Structure 1
Amino acid sequence: MSERDSMTGGAWGSIAAVDGDDALVRMDEGGCGRCREPGGCGGNNVASLLCATPRTFRVPNPDGRAVGERVRVRVLAGSVSRSALYAYAFPLLALLVGALAGSALAGEAGAIGGAIAGLLVGWLGLRRAQRRHTGDCRFQPSIRS
């Protein structure tokens, strides 16, 4: 499967500024761009409730797109769901394991302390994963025409 086949449909935006090899892209809408298509999740509806101002993202600009140009921003298929799994499942699992371990060791107070410790471990794990994947192009948005 080629890289193009493994990309999501993407969302449209405009280049608001160019900063070296990166472009600041102001997105037209929230979500993946499939909100109005059959089978779309409707994330644009949620995004409009949570964020009324246009979203701007720093995206690599290898083709040297100019300010004002409309572009489609895409991410590799599966990267959003993988990131959401890490962001939600890992801390929740760490919280539950910490609470169960604390409860087994020291009852209710141990469960509370273990849950707090589990959340801290979950947060530290997410920070580590974020640092590790910062330069990984599989988790970076890209401009496609």
Structure 2
Amino acid sequence: MTDAWGTVTAVDDQHASIHMDEIGCGRCGEPGGCGGKHLGKLLCGTPRTVRVRNPDHCGVGARVRVAVAEGSLGRSALYAYALPLLALFAGALSGSACGGELAAIGGAVVGLLVGWLGLRRAQRQILRDPRWQPSIRP
């Protein structure tokens, strides 16, 4: 599990809004850390607020650890970048094999659309799977 600290800012029903103290997992300085915290500071000046399930009914102001399943960030990045790109290339190659340059461009557009639809489907599946959702750790 990868986790980061935050403070509960709001509670509703079974969920809590958590203001994250840091961007990234907090392992940037450790060996094997990705350094994403530095990129996050560059692109996102303010800390993020996330909404997670709150099974322990933590109250507003509570300091909590938000955990994300190991591998979920890499899997998400793979889906977000590789799937549409591979579909675009496959469409362009298919179009090129069927015709000329215009067919390759059309195939690339169709491939990109198919990749986007595949990404939307993968996103829906991941959102339904509780193993890949962030959670509050005791």
| In structure 2, C-alpha distance between the alignment counterparts of 1:139 and 1:46, rounded to whole Å | 23
Distance 2:12 2:111 in 1: 40
Instruction: Give the TM-score normalised by the residue count of structure 1.
Output: 0.91
For 2:31 and 2:87, how far apart are their aligned partners in 1?
36
> In structure 1, which of residues 80, 90, 112 is the aligned counterpart of residue 83 of structure 2?
90
Q: Which runs of 5+ in 2 are unaligned?
A: none
Q: Tell me the distance in 1 between the aligned counterparts of 2:57 and 2:90.
A: 48
Distance in 2 between residues matched to 1:129 and 1:41, nearest whole Å: 24
Equivalent position of 1:23 in the other structure: 16
Relative to the length of structure 2, the TM-score reads 0.95
Provide the residue aligned with 2:115 in structure 1. Answer: 122
4+ aligned runs moved over 4 Å, structure 1:
none
The CA distance in 2 between the partners of 1:75 and 1:34, in whole Å, is: 13
Which residue does the alignment assign to 2:32?
39
- Between the aligned partners of 2:47 and 2:13, the Cα distance in structure 1 is 22
Q: CA RMSD in A?
A: 1.0
Task: Report the secondary structure of 2:128's partner residue.
Answer: coil
Whole-angstrom CA distance in 2 between matches of 1:31 and 1:101:
39
Q: Is 1:110 the counterpart of 2:103 in the alignment?
A: yes
Structure 1 CA distance for aligned equivalents of residues 133 and 43 of structure 2: 23
Partner of 1:56: 49
- Give, in whole Å, the separation in 2 of the partners of 1:70 and 1:37: 23
Q: Percent of aligned positions with the same letter in both sequences? A: 67
Aligned length: 138
Unpaired segments of 5 or more residues in structure 1?
A: 1-6
Q: Deviations over 1:88-137 (max 9, x none)?
A: 11111100000000111121111111111111101101111111221211
Pairing 1:138–2:131 present: yes
Aligned partners of 2:89, 2:137: CA distance in 1, in Å? 41
Matches of 1:33 and 1:142 in 2, distance apart?
A: 16
Whole-Å Cα distance in 2 between the matches of residues 108 and 17 of structure 1?
55
